Structure 1
Amino acid sequence: MTTPHVVVVMGVAGTGKTTVGPLVAEALGVPYAEGDDFHPPANIAKMASGVPLDDADRAPWLDAIGAWARDRGDRGGVVSCSALKRAYRDRLRAAAPGLVFLHLTGARELIAARMATRKGHFMTTRLLDSQFATLEPLEADEAGVVVDVAPEAAVIAERAVAGLGRLP
């Protein structure tokens, strides 16, 4: 990339947004923000109990992430955010025009296996099917790249940075 962008690392739970995001941020020389930190406590409690969030739950979370992205301006940054629906990505772009998406994607079985081994995270594997059902992949008119999560994190980040570098 010739100028810094804000990159939203998106995808269903368990794709490695929190692992890959900081690697991409480091490679781009910009700060990283963990999207889960923007959730209000009620959202975390709801997800921890195995209940999927609805659009009303997500609105303040998306607005907080959008404000962070807007405040980054042309300095760039990387933030993780599932951004599963086009409407969520549109909301983020409305707050911070010019941001781009890095969609981490992979087989449900691989993602479920990775989620089963992680400790201390509020998102349970019980919500994975609802995440896949909600997911609307990037459309042709959305600036971004799609990277498969089967390789190790360093390879995923390398492919992501290369793909982002080809964006206008």
Structure 2
Amino acid sequence: MIIIVMGVSGSGKTTIGKLLADSLEWEFSDADTFHSPENVEKMRRGIPLSEDDRMPWLQDLHTAIKHWLQENKNVVLACSALKNSYRQFLVVDSERIKLVYLKGSYELIQMRLQERSNHYMSEKLLDSQFYTLEEPVDTLRMDVAQPPQIIVQNIRTALEI
């Protein structure tokens, strides 16, 4: 099974994803590591990515997901997956891939990003993240205002894992 933990930058995808993977003794992967150096530099400068920038990144993620499924790996993937079209491209097997949407208010996410250091995604890109976000429907939603351990437990309970 693959669990994609999605949401805007600062929603806690990596934190929740790592905690969830650890609690399940599964592999963890962060979609940020699939970005090209050019994309990272663009985001570091506060420039939102274009669709052309994102396509190779999405293609690499798609390939990784198919590989994990072929190997029957259990993986938690932290990935923004902000648009419905991105999610449809990544969810190649709806039986074995589950989406978890980390939902938070603009104000809470902004506060988190202001406290963040050593990450290329700054609060300068927050507006573009919320603008791009197409909230998923029929997806497990978690309120990011809750403590991470509670979120992880709620995910495990809801997915019965």
Counterpart for residue 127 of structure 1:
125
Q: CA offsets, 1:122-168, max 9 Å, x none?
A: 0010111111111111123xxx31101002211111112222228xx
Secondary structure at the aligned position of 1:12 is classed as: coil
Query: Which amino acid in the other structure matches residue 140 of structure 2?
Result: V
Q: CA offsets, 1:87-139, max 9 Å, x none?
A: 00011124x55311111011110111011111100001011111111111112
Runs of 4+ in structure 1 off by over 2 angstroms are none
Q: CA deviation at 1:29?
A: 2.3
1:27·1:161 contact (CA, 8 Å) conserved in 2? no
Q: Given the two structures, how large is their TM-score scaled by the length of structure 1? A: 0.88
What are the ranges of 5 or more consecutive residues in structure 1 without an aligned counterpart?
A: none
Secondary structure at the aligned position of 1:47 is classed as: helix
From 148, 158, 164, the counterpart of 2:159 = 164
Q: CA deviation at 1:65?
A: 1.6
Matched, 1:67 2:63: yes
Q: CA deviation at 1:52?
A: 0.5
From 79, 82, 106, the counterpart of 2:80 = 82
Matched, 1:50 2:55: no
Query: Distance in 2 between the 1:114 and 1:15 partners?
Result: 8
Query: Distance in 2 between the 1:147 and 1:138 partners?
Result: 12
Q: CA offsets, 1:11-58, max 9 Å, x none?
A: 000001111101111222210001110101011011011110111111
Equivalences, count:
158
From 13, 16, 22, the counterpart of 1:20 = 16
Matched, 1:151 2:146: yes
From 128, 134, 137, the counterpart of 1:136 = 134
Q: CA deviation at 1:67?
A: 1.7
Query: Distance in 1 between the 2:157 and 2:5 partners?
Result: 14
Query: Which amino acid in the other structure matches residue 58 of structure 1?
Result: R
1:20·1:157 contact (CA, 8 Å) conserved in 2? yes
Query: Which amino acid in the other structure matches residue 147 of structure 2?
Result: E
Counterpart for residue 10 of structure 1:
6
Matched, 1:40 2:36: yes
Query: Which amino acid in the other structure matches residue 25 of structure 2?
Result: G
Counterpart for residue 112 of structure 1:
110
Query: Which amino acid in the other structure matches residue 23 of structure 2?
Result: A
Query: Distance in 2 between the 1:139 and 1:149 partners?
Result: 17
Query: Which amino acid in the other structure matches residue 12 of structure 1?
Result: V
Query: Distance in 2 between the 1:121 and 1:135 partners?
Result: 20
Q: CA RMSD in A?
A: 1.4
What are the ranges of 5 or more consecutive residues in structure 2 without an aligned counterpart?
A: none
